[in-house]
Chain A
Amino acid sequence: MTKEYEIVIGLEVHVELATKTKIFCGCSTAFGGAPNTHTCPVCTGMPGTLPVLNRQVVEYAIAVGLATNCSITQYCKFDRKNYFYPDNPQNYQISQLYLPVCRNGYVEIETAEDNMTKECSNGLYGVQEGERNRKRIGIHEIHMEEDAGKLIHDETEGSSLVDYNRSGVPLIEIVSEPDMRSADEVIAYLEKLRTTIQYLGASDCKLQEGSMRADVNISVREKGAAGLGTRTEMKNLNSFHAIRHAIEGESARQIGLIESGEKIVQETRRWDEQKGMSYTMRSKEDAQDYRYFPDPDLVPVHISEEWIGQIRAKQPELREAKMARYKETFGIPDYDIRIITDSKHMADLFETTVALGAQPKKVSNWLMGEALRILKEREEDAEAIRFSPAHLATLIALVDQKAITTTVAKEIFEVMFTEDIDPSVYAEEKGLKTVHDESALRRTVEQVIADNPQSVADYRGGKEKAIGYLVGQTMKAMKGKADPESVKRLLVELL
């Protein structure tokens, strides 16, 4: 490659909102119901039905818009996007083209230093800060729309089956400006949207489960060129891995075409993560014309200053504010803060435990150490944590009071993690509390000395390390229920 190229990326992110009901009817949005049991005449597109907008959808959309620095469109409305596909029972999708609910916002992302380009299309510049770079990614608009049903392929019989449970589930589509220049920036942007929306409680944003979906628009241009190259849109990306691979694969394909003097065709492509390559999804003969027009069934939405003010007042503390406060209040390392605040659920757990009197660094150590280890083993995320902060505080207090040893505490933590037992009650019932009875401990130490003449001789011969073995043997004999420091003190005394 003789020329230097730059990748230009914009994203369309669909997020399923956490409402109890669909956007235009009173059907449940619960996941996993038997096929078509959450359907009605509205969400199956029966003629003569009337959609009625779910107020909560508008509130979530406004909340996300405010959190991403958008201006809220005070008079917004819905339009019909016309296309034929069996997962779309009305033959049109109700969406917003002309007056989307939020416009002209941005989020700030951070990436590791080397991967960052400073300039972005909206004239904003990244600011370098410490070892990480910050950059603004523009948000063109956020609009509200309805999801489609699900097609299940019945390949043996040459037919497909349709389940409309998902039809009419509310979505917001967040359209970015073409401000990203690398896969790292794309992933940082998606992480930013994910945590922000999770903190707002507007969605659980799970890529694997489809509650967050990203379509990636990619083009390449010679470095320093002013205009944009021809872009392609990549679909079917349901993990951060797939997104990274697709960006790398597609930019290489486009550069290859340019280098060999061929033309890039503007098209939608489907990424096959297993094969590591993409295919043309829609052929040129398929006319792409959605013939949008205002939906006459839905009256406009007027969002008053007062309504916006009410939603603004209810906004929770978002991740950045929380991180800054943790730094100021709790004196724990930045690394801990970053990991704990990655999940609002974990951050809430952390704060409540600290409020119950536990030392912040100790709480952080349990969460970052044992809790994350168990989650990783079980392939679960932080949202799966079920134990109560009171029980974690009790566990930490028991260790502080030397009522249990660290080893025993770890055993109890594991049980607590699964069954949310009260560590104090559990330790009592199972006889796990540390033995502070000096005479019982002395008897055990004497027995260990008698049983290990070689180590005793080593220690007396000047090998100080031998005492570690004797401490270990005593702890084992005490089933971990002794205070290692007391054991060591007794050993030194008796030897």
Chain B
Amino acid sequence: MKVIDDAVIENVSILAKLELSEDEKVQAKLDMEKMLEYIDQLDELDTEGIEPVIHIFPMENVFREDVVTNGDMREMILANAPEEKSGMFVVPQTFA
């Protein structure tokens, strides 16, 4: 069984941009260990000679043709922005 140590919790919280309290870290560690235990059950199955599944739906090749179907819906799109300026979304200053 894989071990979730403090370094893993630290790394995952950086990736998820979450700041966890000490209590939350303990809880997260327990939760993640439980998840891994659950997933580990799959190792008990014999998958010898079984083709890997690419997608769970028995479908392929769902395409659209290259035709413009959308018009200008800026107003609707920007209605979701917490803040807007000159027709654009305002976000905290970002280094390019």
Are A and B genuine complex partners? yes
Which 7 A-B residue pairs are closest in the complex by CB-CB distance? A26-B69, A161-B88, A56-B66, A55-B63, A86-B91, A162-B89, A35-B87
Contact B88 A36 (CB under 8 A): yes
Q: Which residue of A lies closest to B56 (CB)?
A: A296
Contact A161 B89 (CB under 8 A): yes
Question: Which one, B11, B15, B57, B67, contacts A299 given CB within 8 A?
Answer: B57
Question: Which one, A21, A44, A55, A159, contacts B90 given CB within 8 A?
Answer: A159
36-61 of chain B: CB within 8 A of chain A: 54-57, 59-61
- A376 beta carbon closer than 8 Å to chain B: no
295-333 of chain A: CB within 8 A of chain B: 296, 298-302
- Closest chain B CB from A78 CB (angstroms): 10
Instruction: State the CA gap A25–B14 with chains docked (Å).
Output: 32
Q: A39: which B residues are within 8 A, CB to CB? A: 73-74, 77
Contact A21 B66 (CB under 8 A): yes
Contact A160 B70 (CB under 8 A): no
Q: Which residue of A lies closest to B90 (CB)?
A: A159
- B35 beta carbon closer than 8 Å to chain A: no
Q: B61: which A residues are within 8 A, CB to CB? A: 299, 301-302
Q: Which residue of B lies closest to A163 (CB)?
A: B88
Q: A479: which B residues are within 8 A, CB to CB? A: none
Give A residues with C-beta under 8 Å from B: 19-21, 25-28, 34-41, 44, 46, 52-56, 58, 75, 77, 82, 84-86, 99, 151-155, 158-164, 285, 287, 289, 291, 294, 296, 298-302
Number of interface residues of B (CB under 8 A): 37
Contact A154 B78 (CB under 8 A): no
- Given A35-B86, A37-B72, A84-B17, A55:B93 Cβ within 8 A: no
Cβ-Cβ contact count across A and B, 8 Å cutoff: 136
Q: B90: which A residues are within 8 A, CB to CB? A: 154, 159-162
Contact B73 A55 (CB under 8 A): no
- B21 beta carbon closer than 8 Å to chain A: no
Instruction: State the CA gap A365–B34 with chains docked (Å).
Output: 76
Q: A301: which B residues are within 8 A, CB to CB? A: 60-61
- Closest chain A CB from B62 CB (angstroms): 5
Q: A86: which B residues are within 8 A, CB to CB? A: 89, 91-92, 94
- Given A160-B91, A301-B61, A37:B70 Cβ within 8 A: no
- B2 beta carbon closer than 8 Å to chain A: no
Q: B1: which A residues are within 8 A, CB to CB? A: none
Contact B91 A20 (CB under 8 A): no
Q: A21: which B residues are within 8 A, CB to CB? A: 64, 66-69
Contact B64 A151 (CB under 8 A): no
- Could you jot down 17 A-B contacts, CB within 8 Å? A20-B67, A27-B70, A36-B77, A52-B64, A85-B94, A99-B54, A151-B94, A151-B96, A153-B96, A159-B91, A160-B90, A160-B93, A160-B94, A163-B88, A285-B14, A289-B15, A299-B61
Q: A99: which B residues are within 8 A, CB to CB? A: 54
- B22 beta carbon closer than 8 Å to chain A: no
Contact A53 B63 (CB under 8 A): yes
Counting chain B CB atoms within 10 Å of each CB, the highest count among A26, A56, A84 belongs to A26
Q: Which residue of B lies closest to A87 (CB)?
A: B94
List 14 other contacts, CB 8 Å, given A28-B68, A44-B80.
A27-B68, A34-B87, A36-B87, A36-B89, A82-B15, A154-B90, A159-B85, A159-B92, A160-B93, A161-B86, A164-B77, A164-B89, A296-B55, A300-B54
Q: Which residue of A lies closest to B80 (CB)?
A: A46
Q: Which residue of B lies closest to A18 (CB)?
A: B66
- Given A40-B70, A77-B55, A300-B55, A159:B93 Cβ within 8 A: yes
Q: B87: which A residues are within 8 A, CB to CB? A: 34-37, 163
